[in-house]
């Protein structure tokens, strides 16, 4: 197994700053005026914008309270709108948040940029990570909707180490159009073009040392970006990637969370995105759901993940269908769905940089077996892969929070991930595959 050589003081610094941020994010709240719009005019792109992926369309200053102070507090950040691409190659405006490092960089080499791909926040525009980055938590009282900045801890940890940080919102969150949740290609594009945009903001362009950080939906996005980077963005100086609990095989993931999971409603996010991009699939799915089921899918398109937990906990898709069978059963019978989900499978390409893949053996949301299979698939293709198993015991199976988010906190901020990425940014050699 690869030995972590990062100095303990850096681990302590990252952890202490992250915990400090957690406390701040938990007490600072804001509200939006849903009678007007859930997000500001910033999120509406101009009629014409640069089509080159990674181009900066616009920025606006943002005070970030929920992170570690540098030379001043609040920390100065920016909301950023940049150009990316849909799966068909058409340009699309995407938003995100950028916080330049204000402390001396604590690692080796030049100051890097850490591109964070957020975990599941939802599908409504008010759920976009950049809406909540400033205060750490947004409450929309009129919509009875709430959206925390789940990446506040990661932002604090990396800012505390002196790195630049860019958090993408993904395609369709905040900006017009549906958020294409767990769409492999569009998630990868959003992450890779965020890295390009971050290079422009840092003033170092493609020479910027980069690392990708993602867990759950974010782990799928960074995994997809890692394997697409050699062909889509070969100029990037990507050093290493964390793909934590990636949903690499959507058939397996949908089956697991449809078996009685606190956030089972997230299946609706995926269906809404694929129904939008594949009209033939939309026709078939809509034929199989009841009017009430269709209304639920439409409502989920405007919900955040917190809303799913409060309004629709433990939703099962059998409640939505005409014949009372789970939607995954229908999807297996549809040639259109089978082709789409097979194309969405992560693992058919080869990452060009080392990737750390982590998974909880008792994860009740993202199945462990399909995560390990992704690591094995990449290893068989010649990639450099480190796979680490989190052995947190099963706690309240189906409740998501202990056994899905528990490994994220343990691996991300206590054990594995920050030291691994610091070593990659320092240029420490690593090759082959290790599994534990």
Distance CA 17, CA 155 (A): 9
**Is position 24 within any domain?**
yes
- Are residues 423 and 318 part of one domain? no
Same domain, 37 and 170: yes
Domain final residue pick, 306, 321, 343: 343
Do 107 and 53 lie in a common domain?
yes
Owner of token pair 């198993």: 389
Domain assignment present for 1? no
Domain holding 317: CATH number? 1.10.260
> Within a 10 A sphere around the Cβ of 292, how many other Cβ atoms?
10
pTM: 0.90
The most distant pair of C-alpha atoms in the chain lies apart, rounded to whole Å, by 61
Which residues, including other chains, have CB under 8 Å from residue 170's CB and lie 6 or more apart? Answer: 94, 117, 118, 179, 180, 186, 187, 190, 221
Domain of 215, CATH number, reads 3.40.50.1820
Q: Look at residue 384 in the predicted model and tell me its pLDDT.
A: 98
Predicted confidence at residue 71, as pLDDT, reads 66
Helix or strand run (H / E) with residue 98: strand 91-99
| Residue 397 is assigned to a structural domain of this protein | yes
Residue 119 lies in a domain: yes
Question: And the tokens for 43?
Answer: 């999120």
Contact indicator for 54, 98 with CB cutoff of 8 Å: no
Task: Domain of residue 242: give its range.
Answer: 8-249+345-435
For residues 306 and 169, state if they share a domain.
no
Question: 88 with 226, same domain?
Answer: yes
- Written as tens digits, the pLDDT of the chain (436 aa) is 333 343 444 434 333 333 333 333 332 223 333 333 547 899 999 999 999 999 999 999 999 886 776 667 888 899 999 999 999 999 999 999 999 998 999 999 999 999 999 999 999 999 999 998 888 777 776 667 877 888 989 999 999 999 999 999 999 999 999 999 999 999 999 999 999 999 999 999 999 999 999 999 999 999 999 999 999 999 999 999 999 999 999 999 999 999 999 999 999 999 999 999 999 999 999 999 999 999 999 999 999 999 999 899 999 999 999 999 999 999 999 988 989 999 999 999 999 999 999 999 999 999 999 999 999 999 999 999 999 999 999 999 899 889 999 999 999 988 889 999 999 999 999 999 999 9
Q: What is the pLDDT of residue 8?
A: 46
Count of domains for the chain: 2
| Residues contacting residue 66 through CB under 8 Å, at least 6 positions apart | 21, 24, 25, 28, 133, 134, 135, 136, 149, 152, 155, 156
Q: Taking CA 40 as the corner, what is the angle to CA 36 and CA 46, rounded to the nearest 5 degrees?
A: 115
Asked if residue 292 belongs to a domain, the reply is yes
Q: Are strands 209-215 and 113-117 parallel, antiparallel or unpaired?
A: parallel
Among 343, 362, 378, residue at a domain's last position: 343
> Which of 309, 327, 343 is the last residue before a domain boundary?
343
DSSP annotation string for 194-221: HHHHHHHHHT-GGGSEEEEEEETHHHHH
Note whether 242 and 284 are same-domain residues: no
- The residues pairing with 146 across neighbouring beta strands, listed in sequence order, are 139
2 located within any domain: no
Indicate whether 268 and 335 sit together in one domain.
yes
- 254 closest CA partner among 327, 362, 342: 327
- Contact status, residue 223 vs residue 241, Cβ threshold 8 Å: yes
Q: What is the enclosing helix (H) or strand (E) of 287?
A: helix 279-288
Tell me: do 172 and 85 sit in the same domain. Answer: yes
In-domain check, residue 104: yes
Same domain, 390 and 323: no
Give the span between the Cα atoms of 351 and 226, in whole angstroms.
Answer: 5
Shared domain for 304 and 286, answered yes or no, is yes
Q: Please indicate, yes or no, if residue 83 is contained in any of the structural domains.
A: yes
pLDDT at 134: 84
307 and 431 share one domain: no
Indicate if 81 and 206 belong to the same structural domain: yes
**pLDDT recorded at residue 70:** 65
């Amino acid at each position: 197994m690869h030995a972590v050589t990062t100095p303990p003081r850096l681990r302590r610094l990252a952890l202490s700053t992250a915990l400090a941020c957690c406390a701040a994010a938990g007490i600072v709240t804001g509200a939006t005026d849903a009678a007007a719009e859930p997000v500001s005019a910033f999120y509406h792109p101009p009629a014409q914008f640069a089509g080159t992926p990674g181009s900066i369309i616009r920025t606006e200053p943002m005070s970030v309270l929920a992170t570690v102070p540098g030379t001043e507090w609040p920390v100065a950040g920016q909301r950023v709108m940049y150009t990316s691409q849909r799966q068909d190659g058409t340009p699309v405006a995407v938003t995100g948040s950028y916080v330049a490092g204000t402390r001396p960089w604590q690692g080796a080499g030049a100051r890097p940029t850490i591109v964070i791909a957020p975990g599941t926040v939802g599908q409504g525009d008010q759920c976009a990570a950049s809406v909540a980055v400033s205060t750490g938590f947004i409450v929309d009282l009129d919509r009875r909707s709430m959206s925390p900045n789940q990446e506040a801890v990661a932002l604090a940890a990396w800012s505390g180490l002196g790195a630049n940080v860019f958090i993408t919102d993904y395609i369709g969150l905040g900006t017009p159009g549906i958020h294409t949740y767990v769409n492999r290609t569009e998630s990868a594009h959003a992450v890779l073009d965020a890295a390009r945009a971050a290079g422009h903001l840092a003033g170092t362009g493609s020479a910027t040392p980069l690392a990708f950080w993602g867990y759950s939906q974010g782990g799928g996005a960074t995994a997809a970006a890692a394997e697409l980077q050699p062909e889509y963005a070969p100029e990037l100086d990507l050093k290493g990637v964390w793909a934590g609990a990636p949903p690499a095989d959507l058939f397996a993931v949908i089956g697991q969370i449809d078996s009685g999971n606190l956030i089972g409603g997230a299946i609706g996010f995926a269906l809404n995105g694929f129904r939008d991009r594949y009209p033939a699939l939309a026709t078939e799915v809509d034929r199989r759901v009841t009017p009430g089921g269709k209304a639920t899918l439409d409502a989920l398109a405007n919900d955040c993940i917190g809303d799913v937990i409060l309004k629709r906990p433990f939703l099962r898709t059998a409640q939505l269908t005409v014949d009372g069978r789970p939607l995954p059963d229908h999807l297996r019978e549809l040639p259109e769905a089978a082709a789409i989900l097979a194309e969405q499978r992560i693992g058919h390409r080869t990452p060009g940089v080392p990737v750390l893949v982590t998974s909880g053996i008792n994860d009740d949301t993202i199945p462990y077996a399909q995560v390990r299979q992704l690591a094995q698939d990449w290893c068989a293709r010649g990639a450099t892969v480190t796979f680490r198993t989190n052995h947190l015991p099963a706690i309240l199976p189906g409740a998501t929070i202990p056994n899905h988010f528990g490994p994220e906190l343990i691996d991300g901020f206590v054990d594995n991930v920050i030291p691994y990425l610091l070593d990659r940014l320092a240029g420490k050699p690593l090759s082959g595959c290790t599994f534990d």
